[in-house]
Amino acid sequence: MGALVNGFPPGDPAVIPTIEQLLRRYAEALTPWAEATAARMLSDVERRDAQAWMAQAQEMSRSIQMELRTAPTGETMRALMAEQVGLIKSIPIEAAERVHRLTIEGLEDGSRAREISKAIQESGDVAKSRADLIARTEVTRTATALTQARAEHIGSSGYIWRTSGDGDVRESHRKMNGQFVAWHKPPELDGMTGHAGQFPNCRCYPEPVIPED
């Protein structure tokens, strides 16, 4: 994306339509790659989640072990797949919108033109930061979604919120550590709603509360 943007003179409004068109076409061209990449990530997280459940299931009843093996995770996987492909394809579209916005700002405020031109040329770095955030967040969000699907299937009503326990845990998440959270009622933290592991850059995880029978 940086190569596409930097191939044109920064700050020239005449090239905005061309840049936007190229980036939007690039977003569509990404579809097969995005689907393959998301599928590999989902498969890996699903495998690790299933292994963790089966290890824990050794101490559970035989009926619960059978329930875990037949948990309906397919619908969850399909929904996650669609969301993640959309997120990947949104990166070049957001880059196009950013170039457009910055160029218009440069026209409106000539004193900032050089600064804005530099910001436009950094579009590739901005896109990479966005991609890194998506990658980090989606792995933990996928793990939480699969855990929830399996837990609810065997009758779990909620989980204990656990943090990574280090100094990087944000204050709002530290306060959640050890608290019971109902699956049907995700908490609102810092203006966002979600379960453990579903917030941007969140490394927390849910510890399901399993019914004893």
The pair of structure tokens assigned to 127 is 């896109």
Task: Answer yes or no: do 148 and 163 share one domain.
Answer: no
Rounded Cα gap, residues 41 and 142, in angstroms = 9
| Residue 51 CB partners (closer than 8 Å, separation 6+) | none
Task: Answer yes or no: do 17 and 117 share one domain.
Answer: yes
Nearest to 210 by CA among 50, 47, 59: 59
**Domain termination residue (choose one: 117, 139, 154):** 154
Let me know: does 156 contact 209? Beta carbons within 8 Å. yes
Q: Is the pLDDT of residue 111 over 60?
A: no
Rounded Cα gap, residues 135 and 84, in angstroms = 9
Q: Is the pLDDT of residue 8 over 90?
A: no
**Domain termination residue (choose one: 127, 154, 181):** 154
Fill in the DSSP letter of residue 166.
S
Let me know: does 187 contact 181? Beta carbons within 8 Å. yes
Task: Answer yes or no: do 149 and 87 share one domain.
Answer: yes
Q: Is the pLDDT of residue 172 over 70?
A: yes
Quick one: pLDDT band at residue 104, thresholds 50, 70, 90? confident
Task: Answer yes or no: do 89 and 193 share one domain.
Answer: no
Quick one: pLDDT band at residue 4, thresholds 50, 70, 90? confident
Q: Which residue has the higher pLDDT, 53 or 190?
A: 190
Task: Answer yes or no: do 38 and 136 share one domain.
Answer: yes
Q: For position 63, what pLDDT does the model report?
A: 65
The pair of structure tokens assigned to 133 is 């955030």
pTM of the model: 0.79
Task: Answer yes or no: do 191 and 206 share one domain.
Answer: yes
Task: Answer yes or no: do 95 and 35 share one domain.
Answer: yes
Task: Answer yes or no: do 89 and 185 share one domain.
Answer: no
Residue 61 exposed, middle or buried by CB count within 10 Å (0-12, 13-18, 19+): exposed
Task: Answer yes or no: do 66 and 116 share one domain.
Answer: yes
Let me know: does 209 contact 162? Beta carbons within 8 Å. no
Task: Answer yes or no: do 131 and 145 share one domain.
Answer: yes
User: What are the pLDDT digits (tens) for 18-45?
Assistant: 888 999 999 999 999 999 999 999 999 9
User: What are the pLDDT digits (tens) for 60-81?
Assistant: 666 666 777 778 888 899 999 9
Task: Answer yes or no: do 105 and 161 share one domain.
Answer: no
Rounded Cα gap, residues 50 and 37, in angstroms = 20
Weakest mean pLDDT among 63-67, 118-122, 203-207, 208-212 = 63-67
Q: For position 174, what pLDDT does the model report?
A: 96
**Domain termination residue (choose one: 110, 128, 154):** 154
Q: For the chain, how many structural domains are there in total?
A: 2
Q: Which residue has the higher pLDDT, 1 or 196?
A: 196
Give me the domain span that covers residue 193.
157-213
Q: Is the pLDDT of residue 126 over 80?
A: yes
Task: Answer yes or no: do 194 and 143 share one domain.
Answer: no
Torsion on CA atoms 69, 186, 161, 39, rounded to nearest 10:
50
Q: For position 154, what pLDDT does the model report?
A: 87
